[in-house]
Structure 1
């Protein structure tokens, strides 16, 4: 949609412009309006419109002056002046400023539409060109960083420098430090993949604002849902001055404003493009200490190197075999995979603390599969299930092994049975109640949850997962579908239908109907009559 700003000191004229044209059908949307030039500059900063419709005669700042200031900020913004003047002098000034067109009052709406459509193609082409270049650069930059993190990357210097230049980055000293950010208990917080991606993106944005480097700073969404931050120092002095406290500040800001916690692993500084991958591996090792020291903090590899010298990674093939066993409900295959992990712990002579690191990874794998299979964790293991607390209560490695074994056995049994999950039962019961109570104007998430005797937050989570939509959207859908059926009878007034399906305000009913079906109730009624 092309974004339009309307600037006119007459409220009636602004309202006329908004209501007289079906903007969306032409590919436009009015994003803001202003009474004068000063307000317009503020609104333009906030909403970044593509086109400004400006009246010439306004208090504080006339339209020509405003047009000039807007063009200074954004040369690509389309400017259309609306004026009662038709003098040549105004037209000449307007062209000099960079105004794209002007129309004189009074005018027909068709004249305005044609004027805007002439601008539309030019704006779309400019947007497309900017977007394509930016998207290609960002995508290439991300792919390049992912390759540099990979052990498969040869890290040849000259080709890498050329690729960095293409991605819009200036190669500096070749000294790199990597940080890996992990959202604590992410799988338990959000069932939906989209939600997890949204929160990772939010953390990544905060990270970009907080970490300042007099060199390059990349961020990318890395493997296993982690965020990777790579800093290249401009020179040796900037390396000495780089403040790792920025990552501590990131932990504080995320906890305060996003209301969850993160843990940051920091690798040592290394030279050369191959050093990026080395620093990345060290950051992952540092991150594993959170299972011993706790999350919601920054963990530096160099500080914990000696304590963690006996850490290792068990082969990923074992993890893949475990997941395959869970998905095929093969208890023997699952048992075999767990035995291989236990054997690895014994052969590597890992300490109890670092054995817990591995077992907690196994717990995470198991819980992720339960969610993937469409089951609620509380249904399988009971409400209030706290696995990370339970595993820490086990006093020996054998105790921990038995406990994890039981966890996987319960999972295989629960996910292989064909019975309807409690989550599905709750979603179906909620749908049934909504379909019989849609006429109640007070119907909402809280009243549905109260009827089912469950927590409203739990209902939201379960319903979205099972029904693929929110409770609120489902209620609206049922109401409007019922309204459609009643309109088709041709025997009931639209105002009465609105009340029958739970809308106290006929105007809001009409607006919701049009948003849902693309036409107003009266237009639909007229169509049915024809």
Structure 2
């Protein structure tokens, strides 16, 4: 970081000279850039040369060292000041600690004490500069990540995880214009798909980026519109202009995008809301409306209020039951899946469209579980969707859904069984190879296969009808029996080869397992 610049201030020439000659300043990483005989002269020098460290006497004509230090630190708080004081002045000097004096050094000045003080100063300054450098790097990283953090905030807002106060504070920080007062709020979700299915992931990303830029250009003159991308790569429009016709604008947007890019565009629009805290409801409604593209086709604007028939009671998803459904599908529990499915439809629907929406919620959770578990051998999805669309009464619909959901649950269960069987085979081979390790146990083996000890223990019991310890002991005793028959190794040597280093314990296990002591077994 370069040599530190030092200024010495004292009205006595001998003291200034003594300070200069007492130590090798160069070895301390410092250089004396000047000296002053009074505070006035020193203040001018500080303004011109900005030293890193100042050594100053207390008693000087006109302005004493304490007042001088206070003036310097008020203007340059980073400068380190060391007060040079006698024993009779020390109590007075110590009171100046509140103004920010870094250290004190007593007269007469000893080289060891001066070295100790300069070493502390150099270390402190270097640490502060390192922190400042790190802070500058962090600020630069923040600047680079600012667009991502801004979009992350908006996504949290639309997922309902922020309070009104948090929304307004973060919006101000990120420079997002939000109508924090009462006002109309409406959200649209846009799904971009390529015309050709034979596109690489890179081409798909570029297509969505291109479309987002065009959407941003479309709304460039409207500061009341916010645009972002969610985790499903859907583009979200948040409209805060109560007088704007969002549906009409989206119709025009579809025309522009499909004419200029090789893509299909589907847009779902939620209902108008009155406050920013309810944005997550509008986002959910827009997503739900978007699912209806399976019914109406691509390149359409689908409004949530149009897919819900007029009535006193509107359909609302049961998030808790849907979460349970996805869990039981994911673990392949067919019995539980049916129970939750019955509970989801065990409500009073006022229209066919309402229970079709419930069916679409179930279908979506089923699809999500299948994707997460990488299940590809599903029944014809198109056929399932058609059955949902054409079902005229609840029993017909639930029967069709139940068949589909059970198929996916069973496929997941079958895959898990195969995976668990493969895992146990690998564990068995691992134990055979490493049984000589006396530290071998359930926890270390589970860690080697990146599973929890409890899970591995349950799988071992299920697959081998033995606990982990019973299985490991069994294969160790079989190996010991073979070594006893084929070699002249002593008992303790065999115990070491199978991972049991305590001879007494090994003898007990052998006798318990094979019914006879080792010597008797070998002699027979």
TM norm structure 1: 0.44
Who wins on radius of gyration, i.e. which is larger? 2
TM norm structure 2: 0.44
